[in-house]
Amino acid sequence: MREVTVTINGAQVSGREGMTILEVAQQNGIDIPTLCYSPDLRPIGACRICVVEVEGSRTLVGSCHTPITPGMVIYTHSPKVLETRKVILELLLASHCGSCIICDKANLCNMRAIAADLEVGLPRFHLRKRYYPIEDISPYVQRDLTKCVLCWRCIQACSEIAKQNVFSTGYRSFNSKVVVDCDEPLNKEVCRDCGVCIAYCPTGALTKPRKLSEEKQGKSLVITS
């Protein structure tokens, strides 16, 4: 494959034809935050957190799905890029549940790590939050969609890696949601011994159910005389 030379943050670097800006940046030790991207999945450009500035382009471009072209001049951490990433993240956090301190995903949460890197604290925006009941019927996967950031990685991971199609997109705009069948709670036997979607969820929206249910724990605490 042909070699393509581009300039990233003032330094000339090369990649193979067809590589994305993100791939070339990563190959050269430049860290660009991502939420919906995974090297194992087809890039869909859902979250926009990976935006970069490209000279001559009217708008910022998503680095995870934009291929490099010869002579491209790219800035991955310009003031405009950093400010835009912060706003994108603040908007996500503004509609997020706000229970990060007690979340099971804790320090494994990608969004929390990106917020720390970008020094984003409490969002400036006041948005309506989406609240959904926790789905804990399935013995294999627990869903708490109040923590979902609509990155669609679970849909892709289930389809492309687990080779199942348990999830799909449902509703529109503010009400957009990852749905199972006709928006039923997740409870599928195909999830036994899988858990692929849990591994790809960048927040605490998908987790393994706790070993003991609240009910069982409660029973074990009953003291009989």
Q: Does 49 bind ligand FES (CB under 6 A)?
A: yes
Indicate which of ligand FES, ligand SF4, none lies near residue 49 (CB less than 5 to 8 Å, by partner kind). Answer: ligand FES
Indicate which of ligand SF4, ligand FES, none lies near residue 190 (CB less than 5 to 8 Å, by partner kind). Answer: ligand SF4
CB of 186 to ligand FES, least distance (A): 24
Candidate residues 36, 61, 68, 191; the one interacting with ligand FES per rule CB under 6 A? 36
CB of 17 to ligand SF4, least distance (A): 31
Candidate residues 44, 157, 189, 224; the one interacting with ligand SF4 per rule CB under 6 A? 157
Q: Does 47 bind ligand FES (CB under 6 A)?
A: yes
Residues 120-149 interacting with ligand SF4 (rule: CB under 6 A): 140-141, 148-149
Within 10 Å of residue 83's Cβ, how many Cβ atoms?
Answer: 11
Angle of CA points 164, 169, 172, to nearest 5°:
175
CB of 165 to ligand SF4, least distance (A): 8
The nearer residue to ligand FES, 45 or 195, going by C-beta atoms, is: 45
CB of 71 to ligand SF4, least distance (A): 35
Q: DSSP assignment of the chain, as one string?
A: --EEEEEETTEEEEEETT-BHHHHHHHTT-----SS--TTS-----S-TTEEEETT-SS-EETTTPBP-TT-EEESS-HHHHHHHHHHHHHHHHTS-S-GGG-TTGGG-HHHHHHHHTT--S-S---PPP----B--SSS-EE-GGG-----HHHHIIIIIS----EEEES-GGG-EEEETTTPPP--GGGTT--HHHHH-SSTTEEPPPSS-HHHHHHHT----
Half-sphere exposure of 165 (CA within 13 A, CB side): 3
Candidate residues 8, 50, 74, 157; the one interacting with ligand FES per rule CB under 6 A? 50
Largest CA distance in the chain: 80
Q: Does 88 bind ligand SF4 (CB under 6 A)?
A: no
Residues 185-214 interacting with ligand SF4 (rule: CB under 6 A): 188, 190-191, 194-197, 200-203, 205-206
Instruction: Kindly list the residues in this chain that would bind ligand SF4 in the complex (CB under 6 A).
Output: 140-141, 148-154, 157-158, 162, 164, 166, 178, 188, 190-191, 194-197, 200-203, 205-206
Instruction: Kindly list the residues in this chain that would bind ligand FES in the complex (CB under 6 A).
Output: 34-37, 45-50, 62, 64
